[in-house]
Structure 1
Amino acid sequence: MNIDHQTGNCKQGGQSPRFARRPNLKEFWAKKSVGDSEFWEKKIFNQNHMKYILYARKSTEEDDRQILSIEAQVFELKEFAAKEKLEIVASFQEAKTAKEPGRIKFAEILSLIEKGKAGGILSWNPDCLARNSVDGGKIIHMIDRGLIKALKFPTFWFEPTPQGLFMLQIAFGQSKYYVDSLRENVTRGMRQKVRNGVWPSKAPLGYLNNPKNQRN
C-alpha cells in the first residue's frame, strides 16, 4: 500500500480505493433478468418434451346426469394433445365431486407423478383438478418442488412461472368460492321450502315423488 503525500490518500496497486471501479448495478440486474428469462423459457420449452397424464372428471356419480361430460372431455383433450404434440402415458376418468379431498383416481395421479412416471397433467380446466384448498395446495406444492413440471388445459393458460402460479391459485380460489357460495344458496332455498311446507329433498322411504310438485 502506498501513500500519496500530497493528498494523504492511501493507494493500493497504484490506484486510490475511492476511484476503484464500482459494480454496475444496471448491468448486474440486466444480466440477472436475462438469466431468469432463460431459466423460465427452458422450463416452458421442456413442457412439450415430457409425459402427461390425462384426467377427466364430472361432478356427480349418478349415471343419468352429465352422462356425456367425461366422454366429451376425453375426446377434446386427446384432440388438444395431438395438436400440441403432448405424449399421454395414462388416462384417468372420475365421477366424483372435487369440493372435498379424497378422490381415489386423483390421488393415483399424484402418486405416479411423485414416482417420476410423468411430469405433467392434462385436464379440461383447473376446476376439474381442485375445488378445495387441500387438493389445490397439493398441486401448487408439487409444482414448487419441481414434481409437477407442467399443467395443460384447452381452456386456461398456465406456465410454471411466478405469474402462472399466481393465476393458478386465483383459479383454484374462484372454484372454491363457487362451491361455498352454491352451498349457501342451496341451503337457503331448502330452508324456504320447509317454511312453505314442502319436503326439501326426495321423498323418504315409503313415499313416492309426485310428478306434479315432485313431492308427495
Structure 2
Amino acid sequence: MSNDMLAIINARIVTVDEQGTIINSGTIVVDENGLISQIAAGSIGHTSETVIDARGAIVMPGLVNAHAHLGMTLFRGLGDDMNLEDFLSRLMPAEIRMLDHEAVVAGTELGALESLLGGITTTLDMYYLPDAAQEVAQRSGMRIFSAPNLLEGDGPEPLPFDARMDWAEQWLIQANATGNDSLNWLAPHSTYLLGEEHLL
C-alpha cells in the first residue's frame, strides 16, 4: 500500500464535477505524489500521518486569475479613481525608473501571497522581467504562467520591437527545451502600445 501524504477530513467539498456535487462532510486523500487519490462522503481509510480537520471550512479547487500583473502590486495606490490613460501616464514613468529584477520579484511575491490567500493558485502574469515571476513561482509553489511582455521600447527592458521579438523567440526555445508549459506563450501588451503591424 502506498503512503498517503495528507488526509483532509470533515470538509465541505466543492467538487466542481459535471453534476456540481457538494459533499457536506467528506474526506480527501492526497497520495505521495501530491495528487488527490480519493474523495468521499464521510470518513475513508488512508495511511497519512498528516490529517487536517477542515470542519467548518470549504475545500475546493484553486481559482485561476487569467489576467494579472503581479509585479505591479508595488504601485498600488499610485493612481486610484483615474481613467486608464491618466493612470498609465503616471504609472509607466515610475516603472521605468524603479523596476529591476529584485523589485519585480518583491512585487510578484506580494501579489502571489495575496492571490494564494484569496484561493488563487494559478495566474497568467503579463509583466516586465518574466524570469522574476518564474523565480517566485518556483519558491512559492504557485503556478505562474509568465512570458515576454511585447511592446515598443518602453519599460525597464527598453528594447526595440524587433529585438524584443528575438528575445521572445529565445524564450520560447527555452520553454520547449525545458518542457515548462508555463513559459510557452507570449504577452502582447495592448492595442494602444502596439501598432496593428505588430499585432497581426
- Relative to the length of structure 1, the TM-score reads 0.25
Richer in strand (by share):
2
Higher alpha-carbon Rg:
1
Richer in helix (by share):
1
